[in-house]
Amino acid sequence: MDRNLQLRILTALTLGLGFVGAIYFSVYAAIVLFAIILILGLFELFKIVRAYNEPVKPNRILTIWLALVVYGILAVLPGFLRLDMLFPRDYFLALGLLFVFILVLFVAELFRNQTKPLENLAFSLFGIAYLAIPLGLIISASFDSDGNYQPWYILFFFFFMWASDTGAYFAGRFFGKRKLFERLSPKKTVEGFIGGMVASGLLGVAAFSHLGKFGVIEWIGIGVLLSITGTAGDLFESMLKRQAGVKDSGNILPGHGGILDRFDSALLSAPVYWILLYLGTS
């Protein structure tokens, strides 16, 4: 077996077990876990944009604090405070706090004396939208209508992502001939893309058996849709890295690169998954 593949499998099994265990253990462990992923992901994004030909330098400290506020609002309000018990003033207070942080971010940029202030602000806000919102929505998706934590909703979301990645990898390796998007990701093939959709779609049968909520056809459709959005997320992160001229977003995960490399497919898929679950309860 290829040594790099062995390293990827060993890392995936070791970290995967810890990842699944933390999510299953308690909502508090899940919230802390995703907060760590958020912070590490932001640092990787900062590193990528600083590698551009014309470096972009977001205000790292304020961006992280603002991202944690957004993440906290999305992760905490649905479960611990229950949406049906919130008053309009609670939403206004949360939005007001968010506005204050954004205003501080804008004012702070006036005193940084940077050559690209608008780009700095844009990537600060982009980092929040790209990382804080999806990660917060993943936690939010785990609460049922009564505010009870249901870890299997998070776990199956990532099972869909992993099934898609695994199906795409092996289908591309054994059958891949036609390039999917060679300009951004030379190794991705049309056959791999189809294999990822098939694998993720088939996992929908298990999601139906374990979670219910939707019919089996709906879950299969959700699996296929998440595979498509996951591939789009992967390609989007490749675009960010290619512009910076870097191969991986980091090296924190042996054989897998960085946090963004591992969670890129989940970041664009999480809002879609949250909307689908929300529609299923309304």
Query: Three-state SS across 48-65?
Result: HHHCCCCCCCCCHHHHHH
Greater model confidence, 183 or 238: 238
What's residue 116's pLDDT?
Answer: 84
**Tens of pLDDT, residues 7-59:** 666 766 777 788 889 999 988 999 999 999 999 999 999 999 888 877 788 88
Percent of the chain at pLDDT exceeding 90 = 43
What total of structural domains would you count in the chain?
A: 1
Average pLDDT over residues 196-223: 94
Query: Three-state SS across the chain?
Result: CCHHHHHHHHHHHHHHHHHHHHHHHCHHHHHHHHHHHHHHHHHHHHHHHHCCCCCCCCCHHHHHHHHHHHHHHHHHHHHHHHHHHCCHHHHHHHHHHHHHHHHHHHHHHHCCCCCCHHHHHHHHHHHHHHHHHHHHHHHHCCECCCCCECHHHHHHHHHHHHHHHHHHHHHHHHHCCCEEECCCEEEEEHHHHHHHHHHHHHHHHHHHHHHCCCCHHHHHHHHHHHHHHHHHHHHHHHHHHHHHCCCCCCCCECCCECHHHHHHHHHHHHHHHHHHHHHHHC
Model confidence at 207, pLDDT cuts 50, 70, 90, reads: very high
- Whole-number average pLDDT of the chain: 85
**Tens of pLDDT, residues 52-102:** 877 788 889 999 999 998 898 888 776 555 555 555 565 667 677 778 888
What's residue 156's pLDDT?
Answer: 96
**Tens of pLDDT, residues 72-85:** 888 877 655 555 55
Average pLDDT over residues 216-237: 94
What's residue 254's pLDDT?
Answer: 59
Which residue segment(s) compose the domain that 147 sits in? Answer: 3-281
The two three-digit tokens of residue 17, written as one number:
């077990």
Average pLDDT over residues 90-115: 79
267: pLDDT strictly greater than 90:
yes
**Who contacts 98 (Cβ-Cβ below 8 Å, separation ≥6)?**
66, 69, 70, 73
What's residue 175's pLDDT?
Answer: 85
What's residue 232's pLDDT?
Answer: 93
220: pLDDT strictly greater than 70:
yes
Greater model confidence, 222 or 177: 222
